[in-house]
Amino acid sequence: MHESADVIVIGGGTTGTSAAWHLARAGVSVRLLDKGAIASGASGASPGIVREYYADPALSRLAAQGVQAYRDWAQRYPGACGYRRTGFLTGIAPREQAATQANVARLPGLAWLSPAAARDLIADLHSDALAGAVYEPDAGYCDPRQTAQSFAAGARDLGAVIEEGRAVQRIVCDGGRVTGVHTDRGFIACARVVNAAGPWAAPLGADCQAPLPIHATRQTVGIVQTPGAHPPMPGYCDRDAGFYLRPDTPGRYFIGSLIASESQPIDPDAFECSLSDASVLAHRDRAAQRLSRLLDAQPVGHRVSFFDSTPDGNPIVGADPRIGGLLIAAGLCGHGFKFAPLFGEAIAQWVVQGTLPAVLAPFALERFIE
């Protein structure tokens, strides 16, 4: 039987499922293909933090829209995302103070806090090494797996075909244009492909003579539980101390590593997915330099996954100028969940109108190719 669609989306993470829902909502015939299950890759293991502040203003402008999208989910998208508002603090070293305060002044909704004001939010914060902190009252976290499944279910309800367990082996081109994809169960014809396959986007691009500078890096999150009760706290990020933290249920915290040496290149199909209690305790000890509530916390779990990383640490989202009808939404560098609703909307705009929002211009593929 001949199979076809207007658009094929490769990848069932939050970006791919968002694209499928937005495309179906726009009346486009769309098929989403994933070799595994919905959110079975990096999306399913993400801590799901949604926050706005980055040192890169381009990321901050986009992230501000992402926070609003998740905060207002029920009015805009299908199902649920599990958004919980916690607020977020980013600790800032003295050498970064001037640049950070200038950035914060340009970003409405954020506040620069003195160390004393930061301690008003987190009483046990050791702030001696900090010049201050950036505070985001609307930041929080969501459930990425629930988010992707909600987008996928909503897309199905609108007529999209969602195929789990169907692997795309090759993007097929003719005369410099996409003509379809070859899968492990045969060919599907289409005029446009959205390559949202995370680190697997790179071999798919290379196979059609459109290589991408994307590789997988291992990422680890330790989960700890404190023995006693502590006041609720916002999420927290501290590059100098080498960690980020997301509060969960009372006394439980997700602690991720920001140490470059702990983010090594891996094969996304074969890497170590376990994390020893000793490693979780190392994450804890790093964070306890700033937060004394963690001193006696004990390991209760972990999440190990990967980022699809690029040389400059920013996503690639845009049309591939080398192949007509091919759009890349990969190399997300751990930012993908924060931006998934926006990327999906932008992809639908590209298909229907032939353009992308101007806010995505800094993330175009052209910055990496001649």
The band of 192, judged by pLDDT with boundaries at 50, 70 and 90, is very high
Domain that holds residue 298: 87-138+215-309
Residues 299 and 227 in one domain: yes
The band of 225, judged by pLDDT with boundaries at 50, 70 and 90, is very high
pTM: 0.96
Residues 71-100: b if buried by 16+ CB within 10 A, e if exposed: bebeeebbbebbbeebbbbbbbeeebeeeb
Token pair recorded at residue 270: 């074969």
> Does residue 78 belong to any structural domain of this protein?
no
242 within 8 A of 227, measured Cβ to Cβ: no
- When pLDDT is averaged across residues 282-307 and rounded to a whole number, the result is 97
At 77 the pLDDT is: 98
- When pLDDT is averaged across residues 105-113 and rounded to a whole number, the result is 92
> Does residue 130 belong to any structural domain of this protein?
yes
As a whole number, the mean pLDDT across the chain is: 96
Residues 317 and 354 in one domain: yes
**Within a 10 A sphere around the Cβ of 171, how many other Cβ atoms?**
26
At 320 the pLDDT is: 98
Residues 176 and 153 in one domain: yes
> Does residue 165 belong to any structural domain of this protein?
yes
Beta bridge partners of 177: 174, 324
Q: What is the CATH number of the domain that holds 184?
A: 3.50.50.60
At 107 the pLDDT is: 87
Instruction: Report the C-alpha gap between 56 and 37 in whole angstroms.
Output: 33
Instruction: Report the C-alpha gap between 94 and 348 in whole angstroms.
Output: 43
Task: Categorise residue 176: left if φ over 0, alpha if ψ from -120 to 50, beta otherwise.
Answer: left
Residues 133 and 18 in one domain: no
Q: How far is CA 59 from CA 50, 72, 147, 212, in A?
A: 12, 20, 21, 21
% of the chain exceeding 70 in pLDDT? 99
> Does residue 50 belong to any structural domain of this protein?
no
Instruction: Report the C-alpha gap between 106 and 354 in whole angstroms.
Output: 31
* The total number of structural domains that make up the chain: 2
Residues 148 and 199 in one domain: yes
Residues 129 and 163 in one domain: no
At 311 the pLDDT is: 96
Residues 279 and 330 in one domain: no
Residues 24 and 148 in one domain: yes
At 17 the pLDDT is: 98
Residues 97 and 121 in one domain: yes
pLDDT of residue 1 exceeding 70:
no
In this predicted model, what pLDDT tens digit does every residue of 360-369 receive, in sequence order? 999 999 999 9
Residues 222 and 188 in one domain: no
Nearest to 365 by CA among 329, 325, 313: 329
The band of 228, judged by pLDDT with boundaries at 50, 70 and 90, is confident
Nearest to 173 by CA among 153, 197, 154, 190: 190
- When pLDDT is averaged across residues 249-259 and rounded to a whole number, the result is 96
- When pLDDT is averaged across residues 161-175 and rounded to a whole number, the result is 97
> Does residue 300 belong to any structural domain of this protein?
yes
Residues 304 and 219 in one domain: yes
At 145 the pLDDT is: 97
Q: Which of 272, 294, 309 is the last residue of a domain?
A: 309
- When pLDDT is averaged across residues 153-166 and rounded to a whole number, the result is 98
In this predicted model, what pLDDT tens digit does every residue of 20-53 receive, in sequence order? 999 999 999 999 999 999 999 999 999 999 999 9
At 370 the pLDDT is: 72
Instruction: Report the C-alpha gap between 289 and 243 in whole angstroms.
Output: 10
For 312-323, give the secondary structure using H, E and C: CCCCEEEECCCC
At 108 the pLDDT is: 87
> Does residue 298 belong to any structural domain of this protein?
yes
**Within a 10 A sphere around the Cβ of 102, how many other Cβ atoms?**
10
> Does residue 82 belong to any structural domain of this protein?
no
> Does residue 96 belong to any structural domain of this protein?
yes
Q: What is the CATH number of the domain that holds 230?
A: 3.30.9.10
Residues 103 and 228 in one domain: yes
For the chain, give the secondary structure using H, E and C: CCCECCEEEECCCHHHHHHHHHHHHCCCCEEEEECCCCCCCHHHHCCCEECCCCCCHHHHHHHHHHHHHHHCHHHHCCCCCCCEECCEEEEECHHHHHHHHHHHHCCCCCEEECHHHHHHHCCCECCCCCCEEEEECCCEECCHHHHHHHHHHHHHHCCCEEEECCCEEEEEEECCEEEEEEECCEEEECCEEEECCHHHHHHHHHHCCCCCCCEEEEEEEEEEECCCCCCCCCEEEECCCCEEEEECCCCEEEEEECCHHHCCEEECCECCCCCCHHHHHHHHHHHHCCEHHHCCCEEEEEEEEEEEECCCCCCEEEECCCCECEEEEECCCCCHHHHHHHHHHHHHHHHHHCCCCHHHHHHCHHHHCC
